[in-house]
Each structure stands twice: as structure tokens, then as C-alpha cells.
Amino acid sequence: MNTEPISARRVLHSWKEISNYTGRGVRTIQRYEAQLGFPIHRPAGSPRSAVLAFSDEVDSWLNRSPVRVTETANAVFIDSLYCKARIGKERAESMRRRMEDTTQLLTKLNNSMLRAMEARSRCLTALGPKVRSVSTTS
């Protein structure tokens, strides 16, 4: 004989009543039944007959449901994402610093080449037109 008070065990008589009790949608409860073993009873025994559930069984199922595991898995996933994002940010900053260094080196190289070309041009101008024609024909 059941020694629990009658108020502790409510009978939920329909999908709508069960979903209202759990705070989830009817289709969600139906999916829970099919995929996760949600405690539904069918008095006629047919897979498409009327349904009922007992509140204490529902509460027990919800307390041990995979939602808590999923929340933990989500926390681990979010932590993993955070770590990957931090590593990505560090790599991006490192790449930005290397690009700035490369840009500075290219600017120095360009300036050096411009100075060398100007010096060569001054030398050729100082030597006169005769040397310029020899240097361009060779």
C-alpha cells in the first residue's frame, strides 16, 4: 500500500496537462518519451491511446534527466570555446606584430633602394652625358 500522502502524487491526464506541469511543450514531452524514457502510461496499452503520468514519477525523472548532464557538457563546451578563442586571439596578435615588423623592414628596404638609386643617378649626372650613354648601351 502507498504510504505517501495523496497530494504528493497527482495524476496528469493529458499531454497538455503533463506539459503544463513540466513547463515544456507537448512535442518536447512526446520527444522525451520516445527518446529519453519519460514516464508516460497508456491505460489502453496502445501506442496512440490516451496518456497519463504521475507527478512523482515525472519529478523523479526530471531530477535525474540528462538536462543536468547537458548543462555540464555545455559548460565544458563553452570553456573549450573560450580557450580556443583566447588562443586564436593570441595568434592573431602575434601575426599582427609580425606584419608590423615586416612592414617596417620593407619600408627600410624601400628607402635604402631609393637612396641607392638617387646616389647612382647623382654619380651618373656628375660623370656627364658620355658615361651615361656608355652605361645605358652595355
11-52 tens-digit pLDDT: 999 999 999 999 999 999 998 888 888 899 888 767 677 899
Sequence-separated (6 or more) residues with CB below 8 Å from residue 41: 51, 52, 53, 54
Contact predicate 12/54, CB 8 Å: yes
Task: Give the chain's count of helices (H) and strands (E).
Answer: 5, 2
- pLDDT at position 107 over 70: yes
- pLDDT at position 2 over 50: no
pLDDT tier, 73 (very low <50, low <70, confident <90, very high otherwise) = low
- pLDDT at position 130 over 70: no
Strands 11-12 and 53-54: antiparallel
Q: What is the mean pLDDT of residues 81-87?
A: 88
- In the prediction, which pLDDT does 4 show? 47
